[in-house]
């Protein structure tokens, strides 16, 4: 098994998605008067989100994670769950996503799934259940199931980020205070899973126990590194989001206070 292989089919799919996106936000938008203008910064964010997915699924990281190293798999999950989804959400204009989410049959489902409590619970349930050894090892053995697992992770991650980055007022973001509380609480189950992986003292996934050893890493060390990746970088990303929300909230409050003081009395 050559772990240095790339996956052109993944990149072909992502290029097709990018092409459809650019077609929608420029020629089709103007042709059908979907919106008067389009913020091109959104196109950059959306493109970055697709590139992150490509890094996770279309580079040697994919085979390295599937056949050799649990720590590589955790890096892949980091890209797919906490980096790509917020970029895609921030890069999608509301007029583009609205027709997909405001159909009569889908509205009740969207209202339910984007509620912060359910979104946070679903994300953590998906992550914890998806890392149970029988299910996790099954996904590693069956290639198609592995892709399904990642698709479920991405969908759950989009729901996770929705209360903070929703592009639609129909399914609104939390208040700034609510966003801070949400981001603070939602990370705790992941920290528990990370602690288990790091400190349990023995490897728990047979596929990685039996995998060829890479760079002198034992199966236990590989699992501990994976736990550290889940703990530190994931916590750093969520803390970064927490800090960004706080900064935006503080800046808005400051501008409102300055506007209030400038009003004639």
pLDDT tens, 113-126?
A: 999 999 999 999 99
> Domain for residue 181, yes or no?
yes
Q: Is there a contact between 5 and 63 (Cβ–Cβ < 8 Å)? A: yes
> Domain for residue 28, yes or no?
yes
- pLDDT level of residue 265 (50, 70, 90 thresholds): low
Q: Is the pLDDT of residue 1 over 60?
A: no
Query: Could you identify the residue written with the tokens 């998806």?
Result: 130
CA atoms within 13 Å, Cβ hemisphere of 45: 15
Q: Is there a contact between 167 and 145 (Cβ–Cβ < 8 Å)? A: no
| CA-closest candidate to residue 126, choices 139, 109, 141 | 139
Residue partners of 242: CB distance under 8 A and separation at least 6: 180, 183, 184
Q: What is the pLDDT of residue 101?
A: 85
* 240: its two tokens: 């970064």
pTM: 0.91
Domain of 21 in residue numbering reads as 8-262
Q: What is the pLDDT of residue 156?
A: 94
Can you tell me the distance from the alpha carbon of 112 to that of 246, in angstroms, rounded to the nearest whole number? 26
| CA-closest candidate to residue 66, choices 205, 229, 193 | 205
Query: Could you identify the residue written with the tokens 């209030």?
Result: 260
Query: Could you identify the residue written with the tokens 């916590």?
Result: 235
Residue 193, SS3 per DSSP: helix
> Domain for residue 130, yes or no?
yes
Residue bearing the bigger pLDDT, 8 or 102: 8
Residue partners of 16: CB distance under 8 A and separation at least 6: none
DSSP state of 28: I
Q: Is there a contact between 86 and 239 (Cβ–Cβ < 8 Å)? A: no
Could you report the per-residue pLDDT of 171-195, keeping only the tens digit for each? 999 999 999 999 999 988 888 899 9
Q: Is there a contact between 74 and 230 (Cβ–Cβ < 8 Å)? A: yes
> Domain for residue 81, yes or no?
yes
Q: What is the pLDDT of residue 236?
A: 87
- Name the burial class of residue 79, with classes exposed (0-12), middle (13-18) and buried (19+) by CB atoms within 10 angstroms of its CB: middle
- pLDDT level of residue 90 (50, 70, 90 thresholds): very high
> Domain for residue 72, yes or no?
yes
> Domain for residue 3, yes or no?
no
Can you tell me the distance from the alpha carbon of 113 to that of 227, in angstroms, rounded to the nearest whole number? 28
Region 246-258 average pLDDT: 86
Q: Is there a contact between 128 and 197 (Cβ–Cβ < 8 Å)? A: no
Region 24-33 average pLDDT: 90
Q: Is the pLDDT of residue 234 over 70?
A: yes
Q: Is there a contact between 110 and 101 (Cβ–Cβ < 8 Å)? A: yes
- Name the burial class of residue 55, with classes exposed (0-12), middle (13-18) and buried (19+) by CB atoms within 10 angstroms of its CB: middle
Query: Could you identify the residue written with the tokens 């039996």?
Result: 210
Q: Is there a contact between 242 and 87 (Cβ–Cβ < 8 Å)? A: no
Q: Is the pLDDT of residue 225 over 80?
A: yes
Region 186-206 average pLDDT: 91
| Number of domains into which the chain is organized | 1
Mean pLDDT over each residue of the chain, to the nearest integer: 91
């Amino acid at each position: 098994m050559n772990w240095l292989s790339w996956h052109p089919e993944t990149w072909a799919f992502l290029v097709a998605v990018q092409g459809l996106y650019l077609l929608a936000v420029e020629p089709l938008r103007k042709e059908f008067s979907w919106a008067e203008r389009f913020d091109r910064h959104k196109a950059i964010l959306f493109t970055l989100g697709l590139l992150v997915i490509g890094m996770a699924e279309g580079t040697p990281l994919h085979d390295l994670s599937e056949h050799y190293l649990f720590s590589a798999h955790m890096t892949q999950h980091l890209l797919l769950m906490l980096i790509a989804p917020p970029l895609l959400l921030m890069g999608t204009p509301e007029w583009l996503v609205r027709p997909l989410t405001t159909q009569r049959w889908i509205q009740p489902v969207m209202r339910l799934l984007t509620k912060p409590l359910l979104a946070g619970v679903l994300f953590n349930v998906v992550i914890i259940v998806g890392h149970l050894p029988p299910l996790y090892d099954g996904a590693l053995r069956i290639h198609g199931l592995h892709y399904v697992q990642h698709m479920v992770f991405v969908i759950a991650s989009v729901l996770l980020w929705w209360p903070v980055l929703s592009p639609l007022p129909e399914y609104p973001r939390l208040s700034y205070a609510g966003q801070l509380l949400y981001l603070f609480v939602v990370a705790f189950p992941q920290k528990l899973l990370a602690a288990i992986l790091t400190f349990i003292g023995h490897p728990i996934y047979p596929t990685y126990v039996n995998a060829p050893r890479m760079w002198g890493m034992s199966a236990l060390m590989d699992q501990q590194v994976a736990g550290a990746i889940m703990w530190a970088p994931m916590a750093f990303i969520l803390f970064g989001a927490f800090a960004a929300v706080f900064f935006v909230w503080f800046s808005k409050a400051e501008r409102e206070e300055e506007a209030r003081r400038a009003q004639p009395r």
